[in-house]
Amino acid sequence: MKYYGDLRSFITALDEMGDIMHVHREVDGDFEPSAITRRSYEIQSPAPLFHKVAGVAPGFRLFGAPAALSSRSDMPYARVAMSLGLAPESTGPEIIEALSAARFKPGIPPVRVESAQAECQQNILRGAEANLDRFPIPFAHDKDGGRYANTWGTLIVKTPDGKWVNWSIARVMKVDGKRMVGLIVPSQHIGQIWTQWVARGEPMPYALVQGPAPAISCVSGIPIPANADEADYIGTLAGEPVPVVKAISLDLDVPATAEIVIEGHVSIERDCQEGPYGEYGGYLGEGSSAQPTFHVETITHRHDPIWPMSITGRPTDESHTLWAMGLAADALTYLREAELPIKTTWIPEDSTVHWLLVVMPENWRERLPGVSSEALTQRIGEVLFKTDAMVFIPKVYVVDDDFDPTNLREVVWALSTRVHPVGRRAVFEDQRVIRLPQCYDEAEYVAGKGAKVVFDTLQTKRHLHASFAQGYPEDVRQRILDNWPE
């Protein structure tokens, strides 16, 4: 296992395992980098690194699909695992266990270094020079409201009293060279902090960090408890403190090895239209909403900087790998804290974060004596739907552990044969609903409330599978394997 302290060493490691696609020809500055990245997701190719983008200075690069499925079929989650300092062959459930376990360990706070030691401040742009037009920011999709300046970067903000520093990912659209507009959801952590600044009547200081250590990008995109500092959690995953440096113009610390840092303030009003944007559900966006303006005041960057991007849409991109794993780890943590004997949790990539599987071990009835599967299903829903992260998940399936939840073919088989057409489910009415999940109607989006469901697919008696593994004697199977593929 190895922790990569900056984006460049991570790209080098991916390149050595054949998981980088170098694009040396000049690509246009509008759609071509995004379209290539989107196709790379859909055919599971190596991650594209664009060395020459029209309209920007030589040396400025784009990097797509940083945490998507790997092109290596023998290690499909390698990009996510390596980002977090885990072995590239780690399975999805192993990654989820690591994310959940780190929440119970003491955090390792970041360590501040001097500006001269911080690669992110090799170049400092102020005033008119601090302009987004010099960077290769493409359109993500042709129906989007503008170029999206943030799809895989980390937004750093803190409460006015300085007690809580939040590192998160939120989509941010470029308006012009000096302005951006970001989606600020009140229930999310960045929205809670922005609301505190609004109450004071002061614009919120922010730093938008592009291309930090991969673990920073990953952790910024997953749920951890409010008032917990992501930097400390990342230190725990890395086993070492994150090096940070004081921002040039703000009282914020930023990752010292980042590629690019944009500094400024966020307006106290929703005074600019943001969107539409093609989101993780797999559909092109429609409509826009009034959101706060991010004013650009100072920009720092490394020599020949790399701007990473996630082009969300149909599976499988970072929303369906890293973010889904983070949501599953959050669910696993809360269910185990409720003393339920959960084996693992999993969000199938192809469900676009609309399904959560809660996997029960074969002996769960012995560990929960007197508890029926109906009561267990109800309890799981009661625990999960109180958590913030589950606002994104409308459907939960409680399943046995006799199949591989990360294998979509097995998931479809199990759910198709075990979900009752009418009964065996717990419906939770009037749950929080936001617009990102695709399965609700307009009235529910307007009300902010809708139903969620937990399906009970647990077998009262486990049936043997008509499969190679379970349908034949062991000696026959071994003889066939020894002679395969004669």
For residues 322 and 80, is the Cβ–Cβ distance under 8 A? yes
Residues 6+ apart with CB under 8 A from 137: 147, 148, 149, 174, 307
Helix (H, G, I), strand (E, B) or coil at 474: helix
The per-residue DSSP string of 77-146 comes to THHHHHHTT--TT--HHHHHHHHHHHTTSPP---EE--GGG-GGGSEEEEGGG--GGGS----SSTTSSS
- What tokens appear for 257 in the block? 């090895």
SS (H, E, C) 173-216: EEEECCEEEECCCCCCHHHHHHHHHHHHCCCEEEEEEECCCHHH
Q: Which residue has the tokens 């996630």?
A: 310
- What tokens appear for 125 in the block? 């742009």
> What is the rounded (10 degree) CA torsion for 341, 343, 348, 352?
30
CA 204 – CA 192 distance, rounded (Å): 12
Catalytic residue among 279, 286, 339, 442: 279
Q: List, in sequence order, every beta strand (DSSP E) within 275-424.
A: 289-291, 293-301, 306-309, 344-346, 355-360, 395-400
Single out the residue of 398, 362, 103 nearest to residue 224, CA to CA: 103
Phi, psi dihedrals of residue 432, rounded to the nearest 5°: -65, 135
CA 283 – CA 439 distance, rounded (Å): 12
Residues 6+ apart with CB under 8 A from 423: none
Helix (H, G, I), strand (E, B) or coil at 40: helix
Query: With 0-12 CB in 10 A as exposed, 13-18 as middle and 19+ as buried, what is 56?
Result: middle
Helix axes 373-384, 324-337, angle to 10 degrees: 120
Query: With 0-12 CB in 10 A as exposed, 13-18 as middle and 19+ as buried, what is 317?
Result: buried
* Active-site residue, 442 included: no
For residues 305 and 257, is the Cβ–Cβ distance under 8 A? no
Catalytic positions are: 279
